[in-house]
Amino acid sequence: MNWLTQLVSRRQLYRDLSEEIQAHLDEKIEELVADGMSRDEARHMAMREFGNLALLEENGRDVWAWPSIENFLLDLRYGLRALWHSPVFTVVALLTISIGIAANVSVFTVVNSVLLRPLHYPRADQLVALHQVAPGAEGLADFENGLLLSPSMYFTYAEHNRTFQSLGVWVTGNANVTGLAVPEQVRTIGVSDGVLQTFDVPPAVGRWLLQADHVPGGPQRVMLSYGYWQRRFGGSTTVVGQNITLDSQPREIVGVMPAGFQFVDADFDIVVPFAFDRGKLILAGFGFHGVARLKPGVAIAEANADIARMLPIWMDSFSNGPGTNPHIYETWKIIPMLRSLKQEVIGNVGELLWVVMGTIAVVMLIACANVTNLLLVRVEARQQELAVRAALGAGRARIVRGLLVESLMLGLMGGGVGMGLAHAGVGFLVAMGPSNLPRMSEISLDARTLAFTLLLSLLSGLLFGLIPALRYARPRTGSALQSGGRTISVSRERHRARNLLVVGQVAMALVLLLSAGLMIRTFEAVQTVDPGFADAQHLQIMRISIPASLIAEPERVTRTQNAILDKLAAIQGVKSVGFVSNMPMEGVDSDWDEIFAQDKVYSGDLIAPLRLYKYLSPGLMQTAGTRLVAGREMTWGDIYGHRPVVMISESLAREMWGTPSAAVGKHLREYSKMPWHEVIGVIQDVREKGVQETAPEIVYWLPLVQNRFDPAIRTVTFVIRSARAGTESFLNDVQEAVWSVNSNLPLASVQTMQDVYNKSMARTSFTLVMIGIAAAMALALGVVGIYGVMSYIVSQRQREIGIRLALGAQRGQVLQMVLEQGTKLTVVGVAIGVAVGLGFTRLMTHLLFGVSAHDPLTFASVSSLLILVAVLACYIPARRAMRFDPAVAIRDE
Amino acid sequence: MTKETQRDLFPGALEMMILRTLKRQPLHGYALAQHIKRTSDDLLQIEEGSLYPALQRLLKQELVKAEWGTSSTNRRVRIYRLTHAGAKHLQREVSSFERMLDGITRVLAPGES
Contact across the interface for B77 and A23, Cβ inside 8 Å: yes
The whole-angstrom separation of Cα A668 and Cα A666 is 7
Total Cβ atoms within 10 A of residue A314: 21
Q: How confident is the model at residue A889 (pLDDT cuts 50, 70, 90)?
A: low
Region A881-887: mean pLDDT is 78
Note whether A298 and A160 are same-domain residues.
yes
The whole-angstrom separation of Cα A881 and Cα A812 is 10
For residue range B39-98, list pLDDT tens digits in order: 877 667 677 888 888 888 888 888 888 888 887 778 888 889 889 998 999 998 888 888
Note whether A309 and A183 are same-domain residues.
yes
State which residue of chain B sits closest to A477, comparing Cα positions: B1
Residue A716 maps to a domain: yes
Residue A125 maps to a domain: no
Give the pLDDT confidence score for residue A188 in this predicted structure. 92
Query: H/E/C letters for each residue in A522-579?
Result: HHHHHHCCCCCCCCHHHEEEEEEECCCCCCCCHHHHHHHHHHHHHHHHCCCCEEEEEE
Q: Which of A744, A776, A796 is the last residue of a domain?
A: A744
Residue A89 maps to a domain: yes
- Determine the distance in angstroms separating the CA of B19 from the nearest CA of chain A, rounded to an integer: 17
Query: Domains of chain B (ranges plus CATH)?
Result: 9-107 (1.10.10.10)
The whole-angstrom separation of Cα A743 and Cα B29 is 108
- Among A23, A50, A60, select the one facing B53 at the smallest CB separation: A60
For residue range A776-831, list pLDDT tens digits in order: 888 888 888 888 888 887 877 777 888 888 888 888 888 888 888 888 989 999 99
- Determine the distance in angstroms separating the CA of A384 from the nearest CA of chain B, rounded to an integer: 18
Give the pLDDT confidence score for residue A208 in this predicted structure. 93
Domain count, chain A: 5
Note whether A77 and A53 are same-domain residues.
no
Q: Which strand (E) or helix (H) includes residue A244?
A: strand A243-246
Residue A854 maps to a domain: yes
Residue A508 maps to a domain: yes
* pLDDT higher at A11 or A198: A198
Q: How confident is the model at residue A184 (pLDDT cuts 50, 70, 90)?
A: confident
3-state class (DSSP) for residue A326 = helix
Q: Does B77 touch chain A (CB under 8 A)?
A: yes
Q: Up-side HSE of residue A671: CA atoms within 13 Å toward CB?
A: 9
Residue A535 maps to a domain: no
State which residue of chain B sits closest to A65, comparing Cα positions: B60
DSSP letters along A377-442, please? Answer: HHHHHTHHHHHHHHHTT--HHHHHHHHHHHHHHHHHHHHHHHHHHHHHHHHHHHHHS-TTSTTGGG
Note whether A218 and A144 are same-domain residues.
yes
State which residue of chain A sits closest to B49, comparing Cα positions: A50
Candidate ranges A137-141, A263-267, A766-770, A853-857; pick with highest mean pLDDT: A853-857
Best B27, B28, B56, B73 residue to mutate vs chain A (most A CBs within 10 Å): B56
Contact across the interface for B3 and A59, Cβ inside 8 Å: no
Q: Write down the pTM of the prediction.
A: 0.72
Query: H/E/C letters for each residue in A195-233?
Result: HHHHHCCCCCEECCCCHHHHCCCCCCEEEECHHHHHHHH
Q: Which strand (E) or helix (H) includes residue A165?
A: strand A164-178
Rounded to the nearest integer, the mean pLDDT of chain A is 86
Best B28, B47, B48 residue to mutate vs chain A (most A CBs within 10 Å): B48
The whole-angstrom separation of Cα A711 and Cα A366 is 63
Domain, as residue range, for A419: 68-120+349-488
Note whether A459 and A592 are same-domain residues.
no
Say which residues have a Cβ less than 8 Å from residue A551's Cβ, sequence separation at least 6: A557, A560, A742
Query: Residue A169 to residues A38, A150, A154, A189: CA-CA distances in angstroms?
Result: 103, 9, 7, 10
Best A24, A53, A57, A61 residue to mutate vs chain B (most B CBs within 10 Å): A24
Residue A751 maps to a domain: no
Contact across the interface for B48 and A28, Cβ inside 8 Å: yes
- Among A17, A49, A63, select the one facing B48 at the smallest CB separation: A49
Note whether A154 and A300 are same-domain residues.
yes
Q: Does A56 touch chain B (CB under 8 A)?
A: yes
Q: How confident is the model at residue A607 (pLDDT cuts 50, 70, 90)?
A: low
- Determine the distance in angstroms separating the CA of B41 from the nearest CA of chain A, rounded to an integer: 16
The vertex-A163 CA angle with A260 and A292, nearest 5°, equals 20
The amino acid at A218: G
Give the pLDDT confidence score for residue A274 in this predicted structure. 93
3-state class (DSSP) for residue B58 = helix
The whole-angstrom separation of Cα A778 and Cα A678 is 60
The whole-angstrom separation of Cα B71 and Cα B51 is 18
Note whether A116 and A59 are same-domain residues.
no
Note whether A356 and A331 are same-domain residues.
no
Q: Is the pLDDT of residue A697 over 80?
A: yes
| Cβ-based contacts of B59 with chain A (< 8 Å) | 63
The whole-angstrom separation of Cα A555 and Cα A640 is 8
Q: Which of A439, A464, A488 is the last residue of a domain?
A: A488
Note whether A299 and A150 are same-domain residues.
yes
Q: Which of A315, A337, A359 is the last residue of a domain?
A: A337
For residue range A352-396, list pLDDT tens digits in order: 888 889 889 999 999 998 888 888 888 877 777 777 877 777 777
Residue A749 maps to a domain: no
Note whether A240 and A357 are same-domain residues.
no
Note whether A231 and A256 are same-domain residues.
yes
Note whether A325 and A459 are same-domain residues.
no
